[in-house]
Structure 1
Amino acid sequence: MCGIFGIITQTEQALGPILIDAARRLSYRGYDSVGCATLATNGTIDLRKDVGKVDAVAARLDFA
């Protein structure tokens, strides 16, 4: 992927739809992989990434 973006929020909310939409907007620049990392309120990091198109990776790794 040719771009990086970040989301900062002070409330817990479903970030999957936001992450998928943002990744789709970047995909016009060319894709080879997609990934996301989230930081939970307890300090744990959830990292998900794989090779492929945005929608396929999002479905495969349950981004939503």
Structure 2
Amino acid sequence: MTRQAVAKHLVILEKVNLVTTIRHGREKLHYLNPVPIHQIGERWIKKFERGKLAALSELKRQLEKREE
């Protein structure tokens, strides 16, 4: 990958706030921004988590009903 291609990708990631940059003189340091990455992960996980939690809750309810 060329340096210019990397620079273009970093600009895009910076615009969508996935990468934070800090300038030190002529250097430009890039850091991952964990907050939006975490939020994206949470949205995806919660989508699949609801069904599993509902199933576990139903299983618990049925097992408690058997004990009575």
> With structure 1 as the length reference, what TM-score do the two structures score?
0.29
Larger helix share, 1 or 2:
2
Larger strand share, 1 or 2:
1
> With structure 2 as the length reference, what TM-score do the two structures score?
0.27
